[in-house]
Amino acid sequence: MKILLLGGGGREHAFAWKLAQDPGCSQLFIAPGNAGTAECGANIALSATDFPGIKNFVLTNAIQMVIVGPEEPLVRGIVDFFQNDPELSAVDIIGPSATGAQLEGSKAFAKKFMARHDIPTARYAEVTTTEAGADFLKTLKPPYVLKADGLAAGKGVLILDDYNEAVSALQTMLDGQFGEASRRVVIEEFLSGIEFSVFALTDGKTYRILPEAKDYKRIGEGDTGLNTGGMGAVSPVPFVTPELWQKVENRIIRPTVAGLSAENIDYKGFVFFGLINVEGEPYVIEYNCRMGDPETEVVFPRLKNHLTELFNSLMAGRLDVVRMETIPETAATVMLVADGYPGDYRKGDELRIVMRREGSLYLHAGTRNTDGKVLTNGGRVMAITSFGQSVAEAVGRSVEAAEGVVFEGKYFRRDIGKDLEGF
């Protein structure tokens, strides 16, 4: 099968790495890809949101399956674009329809969906005026959680300790701090607990669960400083006991898929459940309509099944007969980022692997090839994944590998997984 993969980050290198070993994938193209995906297939100079360009490429190259990595093309309706175009409707595309993608594209949509299907989540109000928000904030205890309704590149959530600060932050958001995305704001009760991520692949009726993961969002060690796209991840997550898994599946995953089905929402792709464990009870913090980054960099290395087996079963409505097989060892990824990230960061520095660690997987994120050199090309530059018998061993190996990669201004966290040591 000829496959086109959309996206160009660490997640997409993990997809491409899996597909490169997959007997069901005869030829792989990645748009736009990065210096790492170029080793797994052919990079195409096309943006993942250039729908007409993608159409042209798919038709010219007789692509049979399109896999959508990032959320933006999904929220913009790439799946509907394929289904509504007579020339493209026979091409399999992995991802939800625009309506399904609203689980991520609109926090208000997601909250209402959860309310309709009795899925545990923080109490909330959806507001478009500061007055209404100020009234609701009075019913909550600090800290206060404010979320831009729409996509804001992972930056749209603010957490404030003080009522007056929260009201003024709300005003700034509604005034367009995140453009149209924050003209509507979801205000939430703050949930206190430890977060983890769960992934399901669904055809909108049945589902299969992938290994869970925990990511590390803050730039600084000890989980301090600004939020990032993710500085590292581990899988499995030691505190996710069989008992907690049962609750996650019964109260969250199953009702979510049943809700999609009951509402006739076309959803053939991944659902990412951002969860929080509050004293043994799981709640949904957020949904995403795609795999996580850097969670994919630990989840896929643990997955024994080939992706084409999963996707072909999904498309045939036979996901329920697939047996998921997982490597039991712990995988940990450490993200190497550019100086300045998550603010303005350096770009265009040469990256070299001066000491390659046997057994570690070097997944490129923000990189590109120029004249035979690999140059940094994004805030998150490279994710290095290693296996170990424990979180500490797996992280230690990735940190060791990270030492052997050089580029100007390299930074990474050495404390990924440290908080899991007590479990």
CA distance 270 to 204: 10
**CB-nearer residue toward ligand AMP: 118 or 403:** 118
What is the DSSP-derived secondary structure letter of residue 182? G
Task: Using DSSP, state whether 294 is helix, strand or coil.
Answer: coil
Name which position in 72, 126, 149, 286 contacts ligand AMP (CB under 6 A): 286
CA-based max dimension of the chain: 60
* Least distance between ligand GLY and beta carbon 42 (Å): 26
Q: Does 191 bind ligand AMP (CB under 6 A)?
A: yes
Long-range contacts of 254-259 (CB under 8 A, 24+ apart): 254/207, 255/117, 255/118, 255/119, 256/117, 256/119, 256/200, 256/287, 257/200, 257/202, 257/204, 257/205, 257/206, 257/207, 258/117, 259/113, 259/116, 259/117, 259/119
CA distance 203 to 200: 10
**CB-nearer residue toward ligand AMP: 95 or 230:** 230
Name which position in 72, 126, 215, 297 contacts ligand GLY (CB under 6 A): 215
7 binds, among ligand AMP, ligand GLY, none (CB under 5 to 8 A by kind): none
Name which position in 133, 293, 391, 405 contacts ligand GLY (CB under 6 A): 293
190 binds, among ligand GLY, ligand AMP, none (CB under 5 to 8 A by kind): ligand AMP
121-129, 137-145, 235-243, 288-296 -> range binding ligand GLY (CB under 6 A): 288-296
Q: Does 7 bind ligand AMP (CB under 6 A)?
A: no
Name which position in 277, 288, 330, 376 contacts ligand GLY (CB under 6 A): 288
* Least distance between ligand AMP and beta carbon 274 (Å): 5
Name which position in 33, 41, 292, 388 contacts ligand GLY (CB under 6 A): 292
Task: Using DSSP, state whether 247 is helix, strand or coil.
Answer: helix
**CB-nearer residue toward ligand GLY: 203 or 293:** 293
Half-sphere exposure of 234 (CA within 13 A, CB side): 28
CA distance 255 to 128: 29
* Least distance between ligand GLY and beta carbon 205 (Å): 25
163-171, 189-197, 250-258, 320-328 -> range binding ligand AMP (CB under 6 A): 189-197
What is the DSSP-derived secondary structure letter of residue 251? I
* Least distance between ligand GLY and beta carbon 234 (Å): 12
The residue written with tokens 């600084």 in the block is 220
75 binds, among ligand GLY, ligand AMP, none (CB under 5 to 8 A by kind): none
Q: 358 Cβ partners below 8 Å, 6+ apart? A: none
CA distance 240 to 253: 15
* Least distance between ligand AMP and beta carbon 20 (Å): 30
* Least distance between ligand AMP and beta carbon 291 (Å): 15
Radius of gyration of the chain measured on its C-alpha atoms: 21
Name which position in 46, 122, 233, 310 contacts ligand AMP (CB under 6 A): 122
Contacts with ligand GLY by CB under 6 A: the residue count is 6
293 binds, among ligand GLY, ligand AMP, none (CB under 5 to 8 A by kind): ligand GLY
* Least distance between ligand GLY and beta carbon 154 (Å): 6
Q: Does 235 bind ligand GLY (CB under 6 A)?
A: no
End-to-end CA distance of the chain: 43
Q: Which ranges in 154-239 belong to alpha helices (H)?
A: 163-174
CA distance 322 to 198: 18
The footprint of ligand GLY (CB under 6 A) covers 215, 230, 288, 292-293, 295
